[in-house]
Amino acid sequence: MRLGLTMWSHSGWQSEFYGSGTSAGDRLARYAEVFNTVEGNTTFYASPAPHTVLNWRDATPDEFRFTFKLPKAITHENRLRNSTQLLTDFLTLMEPLHHKIGMWTIQLPAAFGPEDLAVLYRFCQQFPKQLPLGLEVRHPLFFAKGDAEKELNQWLIEQDIDRIIMDSRPVFSASPTDPVVLDAQQKKPKVPVHAIATAQHPMIRFIGHPDLDSNLAFFTPWLNKLPEWIAQGKQPYLMIHTPDNLLAPKLAQTLYKELQNHVQRQCELTLPDLSEFPAQKGINQLSMF
């Protein structure tokens, strides 16, 4: 499986994750020492400069995988219409990283509903077949287990496109008295969790509760589903968020350890240890002298 966060650069991670000596330019390299994937939210808001793409390529090992979102100009402003040139330009810009893409993700707005499926189908026909795709939908009818959801899921299976799973239960269980939590609740969709794998790399976006221990009950169903997918030969992606992402590295570490312990007790699987955070490695090295 692959484990990652929604970002690789966060100033609040400096002391406990990166280590005090890490510069902003080195954060991706330090992040990639621990996690083997990341949500590339940055490309949703703005396309990087060509030299930045090369820097991202050079900062990560060959086995690292990005899951970049398509630009919002394509998915939200144009809603996949009249976007052929935008898509071509974006994929050309990102070409140096194509070999490190776990999937390109299409995040659609809640207004994109069943009546727009034909647009989605046409858009994905333009997408290069050799490039992996993931789709996140937010319209309520795609979660109602009716004809619209059945049609979407069947099409995703036929096209070998992963349906991205949003698990926002933890953050919506938190009290909205904290402005950070309230902001997250206003921005994240509150949709049912449908744990379906339509292709080989099901992605879970787990939006955590600010109290780390409160996440364990919500994560319990995934302790069985993730090993089930792995046993089927799939490689799931688990992406961890917290309301302001300050505690995301620690939550990812905690949940992965729970999963590791579970499969060791219950399944014929062994998950590798997660590497120490770079900051902790530095402390341990100093303690040797």
66-101: per-residue pLDDT in tens? 999 999 999 999 999 999 999 999 999 999 999 999
Pick the CATH number of 2-287 from 3.20.20.410, 3.90.1300.10, 3.90.850.10, 3.30.70.20: 3.20.20.410
pLDDT > 90 fraction of the chain, expressed in percent and rounded = 91
φ and ψ of 133, to 5 deg: -125, 145
Beta bridge partners of 75: none
d(CA 51, CA 48): 8
pLDDT tens, 139-188? Answer: 999 999 999 999 999 999 999 999 999 999 999 999 998 999 999 999 89
What's the confidence (pLDDT) of residue 284?
57
Per-residue pLDDT band for 286 (boundaries 50, 70, 90) equals very low
Q: Transcribe 166-227 into DSSP letters.
A: EE-HHHHTS-TTSHHHHHHHHHS---------SSS--EEEEE--SSGGGGHHHHHHHHHHHH
Three-class SS of residue 255? Answer: helix
Where are the chain's structural domains?
A: 2-287
Q: How much is the average pLDDT of 241-264?
A: 95
How many CB atoms within 10 Å of residue 198?
21
d(CA 211, CA 181): 11
Tokens of 13: 């991670």
Contact 162, 124 (CB under 8 A): no
Identity at 103, one-letter amino acid code? M
pTM: 0.94
pLDDT mean across residues, the chain: 94
